[in-house]
Amino acid sequence: MQGSNDNGVGGCSCDAGTLDTASQTIISVALNRDPRSEGMMPGWAIEVARQKLLFFTKPSEFPVRLAMIANTLDSEFNAGNGDIHMRCFAFMLGVADSLNSVVEMHHNLQKPGLHGGKSLSNAEIETAYARASGLVLEWEKADPQAARAVLDCIKTEDMAANKGDNLFIAWANNWQKDTGVEPYANAAEFLKCFKALYQPGTYYVDLFLAWERNETDTEFFNDYGLQAVRCRKIGSLGGTTNPAISVMGEDDYDGKGNIHGQPATDFITSSPNKWREVRKVIAKEQIKLGEADDWGGTAFTEWVVVDAMLGLRSLFLHEGLGRVAFQLRPDWHCDEEKLTRGGGQIFDILGKRVSVFDSILMEGTAAPYTDLVASRLGKPNNHFKIACTSQVALDVVKAFNAGNHPKYPGAVKERMFTNMTLSYEVPQMVATSVAVEEGIADYEARTGEKVDDGRGGSVVTSMIGRFNDAIRVYRIEQLLAALPSDSKFAAEIKPAAVKALTDAPLNCAEFVAEVAKAGIAYDPETEEDAIDHAGSLATKRTVMYLEQRYGRRSRILTASKRKFHQNTDLLNVPFSTDFGNIQRMYLDLKLGGGCKVDAWKSIYDGMNEDGTPAAGSVWAKRSEVLASIWPDWVKAFMVDGVKPEDYISTIYVPPTLNQFLGFWDENVSRAKTARESVQ
């Protein structure tokens, strides 16, 4: 890394017509000529080079630096081959795309809090965009094949993620429907299409801007690492993965079961699958080290998480945001020592990975960035996800946040941040939040340092949809159990497959009558409404209770949503994670004219200050209905109603745990297949 006397410190040396150190680094890395990019996943070098330009260039220097880089890359393009053409095109297309994003500009180039009155004006941004996009269009004309390859890669990632059900491909398809032009057909249309997505008026952009104005505490996280960079441009400040996401990322790249049909699958499979190649790289290292296949499975998860961590790396360095969840092995959920030692080891590995990115980002970089990032350089921007199945999980969360485990000296060397998962009801979320606070208190008492995690510390996940699903399955099973043994509904209805009680045949007159004859009062619409809001109500209760106890240090993160209202019902919850399908639901609502947010603190609506439902409110009615159809609702809603030893025997923990265990086994199986293929 270059020191403070580099050529680039204090400004770009434009008068001399030579490139400063930072600009030289950007070009070298983007063109894959920097030895630090050796072994990087496809796209990583170009992305870190883009972030260096966009997030670590002062506004006063940006126009000159962009111009110098553009001129140099243009010369490289004219003298280079197809690979150089693709790299130049991908780099500058991404820069132009970011210049179209209000959110991207607010992180650095138009951030008054960082640069005072020296931020770039909108006119200056437009001039920079014209330079970047103009060059992209020139290059596309000169080598349409290279441009086509880059645009196809973007389309593949947009379409493949989560089987193609996400906001980006949905936005593109709607654009094509309205304009008659496919957004991936050429660079100009691509930039025009997604610029419209990145503007105020889009829910996620508006949420970010409201958060930035301190009108809400809610930070948007993306629940799929692959699209971290795309989501960053609409306001994502963090991300998460789990065993299912990590493994299914591969299959998504193969287009299996793609919702857009066989043409989409054919298109995706025509592109190289970079995750398959990653498996092979890991397998070779695994053989070299003589490691078992579970090592290969863990290593693959590391690559998935680092891919997402890079997308959000600059947000972390700037503000301590941009953390991505790495879920520790679910089969260790009750093994405190393995979780502790495994977390410490992976933390070290992730630190080494991100240190390479940081050395590039900081080379030739001057104040204010050097001072801004000093405490975070080389630190992984991750959370460790731990499955909340017993007291073990609470103890590990406390130890990680304390930076020390008294039973296993040296296993945890410094504070590590956590994301409790498989947490659903109020007692779990409160107990985990208390464990985080106890860990912080332990650290402060041991070191004498005061902890300030700001808006980017540990989180506790409220798995809203999975909680609701479990209650629905319970209710259906109880209804079916009450029916005569020869009832046709017993064979016809599969509880776990039902999405809503209002779906046929659960809402048909014959089923309702048969249930009534068995002596059970059943109202599909009222009960479904209550179940659909159960996780939201538990979240409201938890957040408000914790705020009353700890002030604004609540750390609840909402996830596993099934409906978009689980966002708008819970605004001001500190963190909100959306998978691709929920982001796409926003577009459905927008097109239907039904996604207007009047207030950014809806979490308090209909509630008392302590988080209990206000008398006469719709939330009080829902709570009453839930208590009538599920006896354990009262315990799940009480702060200490469920004890840690009982987490594993609830109706909601085992289904997710079993799914995650299954995907972990699949991960190891694929590592085995990859190892055998390269031996």
- 642 falls in which pLDDT band (50, 70, 90)? very high
Residue in the structure block whose two tokens are 């593109």: 172
pLDDT at site 5: 31
- 287 falls in which pLDDT band (50, 70, 90)? very high
More confident call, 224 vs 566? 566
pLDDT in tens, 406-429: 999 999 999 999 999 999 999 999
> What does the domain layout of the chain look like in residue ranges?
423-569+605-642
- 181 falls in which pLDDT band (50, 70, 90)? very high
pLDDT in tens, 358-372: 999 999 999 999 999
pLDDT in tens, 95-141: 999 999 999 999 999 998 899 889 999 999 999 999 999 999 999 99
Task: Decide if pLDDT at 9 tops 50.
Answer: no
Q: What is the mean pLDDT of residues 618-646?
A: 98
Can you list the pairs that 446-453 forms with residues at least 24 positions away whose Cβ atoms lie under 8 Å? Answer: 446/402, 446/404, 447/403, 451/415, 453/320, 453/417
Q: What is the mean pLDDT of residues 50-54?
A: 98
Task: Decide if pLDDT at 8 tops 90.
Answer: no
Of 63-72, 446-455, 654-663, minimum mean pLDDT range: 446-455
pLDDT at site 117: 81
pLDDT at site 17: 61
Q: What is the mean pLDDT of residues 507-523?
A: 96
Task: Decide if pLDDT at 240 tops 80.
Answer: yes
Token readout for 237 is 């400040």
- 552 falls in which pLDDT band (50, 70, 90)? low
Give the mean pLDDT of the chain: 94
Alpha carbons 172 and 170: distance in angstroms, whole number: 5
pLDDT at site 112: 84
Task: Decide if pLDDT at 142 tops 90.
Answer: yes
Task: Decide if pLDDT at 2 tops 60.
Answer: no
- Three-class SS state of 607: strand
Alpha carbons 349 and 355: distance in angstroms, whole number: 10
Alpha carbons 430 and 451: distance in angstroms, whole number: 20
- Three-class SS state of 622: helix
Q: How many CB atoms within 10 Å of residue 652?
A: 25
Task: Decide if pLDDT at 13 tops 60.
Answer: no
Of 238-252, 308-322, 625-639, minimum mean pLDDT range: 238-252
Q: What is the mean pLDDT of residues 669-673?
A: 97
Contact 132, 66 (CB under 8 A): yes
- 549 falls in which pLDDT band (50, 70, 90)? confident
% of the chain surpassing 70 pLDDT: 97
Task: Decide if pLDDT at 7 tops 60.
Answer: no
Pairing of strands 418-421, 382-387: parallel
Token readout for 187 is 């660079």
- 16 falls in which pLDDT band (50, 70, 90)? very low
Q: What is the mean pLDDT of residues 217-246?
A: 94
For the four alpha carbons of 499, 500, 501 and 502, in that order, the dihedral sign comes to negative
